[in-house]
Amino acid sequence: MAILKLLQNVRIFAPAELGVRDLLIADGRIACIGEALPIPTGFGEVEVCDAGGKTLIPGLIDMHIHMLGGGGEGGPATRTPEITLSEITRYGVTTAVGVLGTDGTTRTMPALLTKAKALELEGITTFVYTGSYEVPTPTITGKVRDDVILIEKVIGVGEIAISDHRSAHPTLDELARLGMEARVGGMIGGKPGLLHLHIGPGKAGLTPIFDLLAKSDLPIQNILPTHCSRSKETLDQAVRLAKEGGQFDLTAGGRVCEHLSYVLKAGAPLDKVTISSDGNGSLPRFDAKGNFLGLGVGSVRTVFEAFVNMITQMQMPISEALHIVSCNQARLLNLADRKGRIAPGADADLVLLTEDYSIDKVWAKGRLMVDAGEPVVWGTFEGPR
């Protein structure tokens, strides 16, 4: 694999539009951007790609993927499978954050951490939350704070379930303790220290978050609720949270662009909204009495589909749409100097788009993972041998 790669004649959104430029990748990072860059000499082979004016964007960041699979609410046969590398990269995602969900018993934190390490070895950047729906929540070391401080990939605790018949209905004291352990662990370990909360379809919605903020010293920036589009009421609560300085996450798929349009028109700041896929998680259906009816499986592709729909249906500028699928996530992960941007010194996590906004190529840390829309790098146990 060539150490140097030169992309020529590419329209760059960094996220701001830079126009048509050349871009040089060196050892997995962006070395320089300019007009008509010369092909470097004296450094061995240089891989040259003429993009012909196609669009280049930062790699997408998905902060909520069930790397080990999810589900099981309908019994052992309803457990969804582990995700594979190509299921992530083929949709332009180059950084992924893994979570456990309902099942923190048969799926464990050591297994999730190991899966994240495997995906990183296969080519992408990965992190995990410690914990699952329940409280007390499973950890690796026995303490949330210690997991965040001592384990490189752990960025916080989650997804802790609230307002859901599958949650353990944690008290405010329990939520505050989890949040403060994540925060202090983040301070000591140089991590985001996020309390990542699953918002279920229950009546309370995001109310426990506002109660937590009113009755504890946990800063609002350490809380990240997801699945916030359960109802108009939860969307309104999410807007309120964002206006007060917090942030919230919408789950891609379905009516996400309609929900996104609603919260932005309602005044949610653009830099306070993210979208994640819930990839490989189960999408269970229950009746009014809580009886299990069936389930689907979430897909990482929904984030990229939402990005395209933002541009084509909502008429959102590419530079703004990138904040919702990449830039804001990079900031939340304390990685804004490396991820979610195209600039000298940043990681060469890049997605090349065709004129109709389909994926042509994907690079993760400078390595070509997808070419002509198809994976060229496969996970250890998938794809052509």
How many Cβ atoms sit within 10 Å of the Cβ of residue 215?
12
Calculate the dihedral angle through the C-alpha atoms of 117, 2, 22, 300, rounding to the nearest 10 degrees: -30
Catalytic residue among 62, 164, 249, 278: 278
Q: Which two tokens stand for residue 175?
A: 């939520």
Closest CA to 359 of 131, 142, 171, 91: 91
Alpha-carbon torsion 312, 51, 92, 276, what sign?
A: negative
How many alpha carbons lie under 13 Å from residue 62 in its C-beta half-sphere? 32
Residue 265 CB contacts under 8 Å (≥ 6 apart), including other chains = none
Q: By three-state DSSP, how is residue 15 classified?
A: coil
Do 128 and 98 contact (CB within 8 A), yes or no? yes
Q: Say how many C-beta atoms besides its own lie within 10 A of residue 214's C-beta.
A: 8
User: Mapping DSSP to helix (H, G, I), strand (E, B) and coil, where does residue 108 land?
Assistant: coil
Quick one: angle between helices 301-312 and 256-265, nearest 10? 60
Residue given tokens 């189960």 in the structure block: 282
Residue 278 designated active-site: yes
Give strand pairing partners of 34.
22
Is 159 strand, coil or helix?
A: strand
Q: Which residues are marked as active site? A: 278
